Structure 1
């Protein structure tokens, strides 16, 4: 059975969904996206994703084409149509279709699409192995745009090395993973993660996990760190909308926490999932 997807006001079977070849998302990567996790048929951190979506749109001089209430209803309808219990909903907004020109079109109608992805996301995680790679992305990583070729190339570099992902490095310091924020845990259980700036995506899961860690009276330090410092850490992990809290057990061939998830990351992961289930809408 095919999925039901949403395209510009209509719910359609995925095989009947189309977008213009002149869409600027296709021609210029002129668009933004969000991915919202679904647990027990409910949306995780939905308000945070909408807030970031509106910020990304504003940075590209676009507006949300529907109200936040309408957007919530579309998400819920897709969950219902697809009987989605666990997984994610992908949303993309582009500037719309117009004849190819680098100048923004004045009267193009924005394109809004959403679709579901059913996959297990709450199961305990055994941890990932990563390599480091140069950060070759553009300078505005704080905008969640659809121009993802650089992260895709970097992810493939990791896969070709037989690893799960890569941490990108700029000026000697880790920025983030290909689709996640990066953290290390010191031997005295301090969490270190890069401070917010244009250099990294302002992760919704990042904000929720740091809030949870703060409520647990865990020490947090927001600053850049190097691969060498990460290799000497007690533990490491990443966060993302559908990865939640995912342990990192190897960095550039150096194992952490005995090659298995450590106690701090394991606790954070369990608590984050518990709290997400309670707060999902």
Structure 2
């Protein structure tokens, strides 16, 4: 039976409860992070902790736990649930003051903090990564502050379902003719050996895996250009890929029905996945 963490307590999952008046439930007034676990250790925990703090600050939400205590909770959940490969999901909401109102509750209202694990054997040696993903493009109609990792995930979920109905794996969102990001990942193309990905701004999530992968790419003497690109440009690229905390580096082999290269994962994405997994295992906590 899975053990979860709710507001300072470790509980069997069937005993865990959150108020029906919690603003995360009523208003999507909350933020989250997902940290991968490989070999029983946390991947890039510090990066996720820093981004969590930033998201909370941007929403003027109090952080209910210190970084050191948060690390201990992650480790304890991994230990109790015997996770070798998997994920730790963390969510913080503005909490509940016992009723529903659009206005924020009183400042002394305690935030809600929830963590749980997901066991994912074979996370690193993913068959999907060897095959590559097929994506479609959809209009990006999300709110303007996508740099804050909020729990407002309805449209990304709808995008995933649009892709599934089209017989594909994911969707890339497009705004003003330019690709922003995938439904749960950052998007990249490779042309002439150069890695191209959208520059940071409010339009995309500042991916923790994105930052690490670009750092490793530059250290490996790969050229990187941070700028917007179109779907048409992506379809003419040599290869493409996405990055996320749960899928690491995922090759993309088809965009809106157009195969990239020979339709198999390209060498740049494949090599970056190898480098990322190797380096992150070395630095894991």
Matched residue, 2:203: 199
Matched residue, 2:183: 178
Matched residue, 1:41: 40
Question: Which of these residues, 250, 265, 274, is aligned with residue 261 of structure 1?
Answer: 265
Matched residue, 2:71: 72
Question: Which of these residues, 203, 215, 218, is aligned with residue 214 of structure 1?
Answer: 218
Q: SS at the partner of 1:258?
A: coil
Give distance in 2, aligned partners of 1:268 and 1:80.
30
Q: Show structure 1 runs of 4+ deviating over 3 A.
A: none
Unpaired segments of 5 or more residues in structure 2?
none
TM-aligned CA deviation for residue 257 of structure 1 = 2.4
Give distance in 2, aligned partners of 1:16 and 1:202.
35
Q: SS at the partner of 1:179?
A: coil
Give distance in 1, aligned partners of 2:238 and 2:211.
22
Q: SS at the partner of 2:172?
A: strand
Give distance in 1, aligned partners of 2:158 and 2:250.
21
TM-aligned CA deviation for residue 258 of structure 1 = 1.1
Q: TM-score, normalised by structure 2?
A: 0.97
Q: TM-score, normalised by structure 1?
A: 0.98
Give distance in 1, aligned partners of 2:62 and 2:218.
34
How many matched pairs? 279
Residue 251, structure 1, aligned to residue 252, structure 2: no
Give distance in 2, aligned partners of 1:266 and 1:105.
48
1:128-185 CA deviation, whole Å, 9 max, x = no partner?
A: 0000000011000000000100111111111111100000000000000000000000
Residue 86, structure 1, aligned to residue 90, structure 2: no
Residue 271, structure 1, aligned to residue 275, structure 2: yes
Give distance in 1, aligned partners of 2:257 and 2:271.
25
TM-aligned CA deviation for residue 121 of structure 1 = 1.6
Matched residue, 2:20: 21
Matched residue, 1:137: 142
1:27-81 CA deviation, whole Å, 9 max, x = no partner?
A: 0000000000100000000000000000000000012111100000000000000
Q: Is the 8 A contact 1:137 1:150 kept in 2?
A: yes
Matched residue, 1:232: 236
TM-aligned CA deviation for residue 212 of structure 1 = 0.1
Moved more, 260-269 or 25-34: 260-269
Q: SS at the partner of 2:262?
A: helix
Give distance in 1, aligned partners of 2:198 and 2:26.
33
Give distance in 1, aligned partners of 2:263 and 2:123.
21
Give distance in 2, aligned partners of 1:195 and 1:232.
20
Q: Is the 8 A contact 1:54 1:63 kept in 2?
A: no
1:183-211 CA deviation, whole Å, 9 max, x = no partner?
A: 0000x210000000000000000000000
For the aligned residue pairs, the C-alpha RMSD in angstroms reads: 0.7
Q: SS at the partner of 1:257?
A: coil
Residue 59, structure 1, aligned to residue 47, structure 2: no
Q: SS at the partner of 1:229?
A: helix
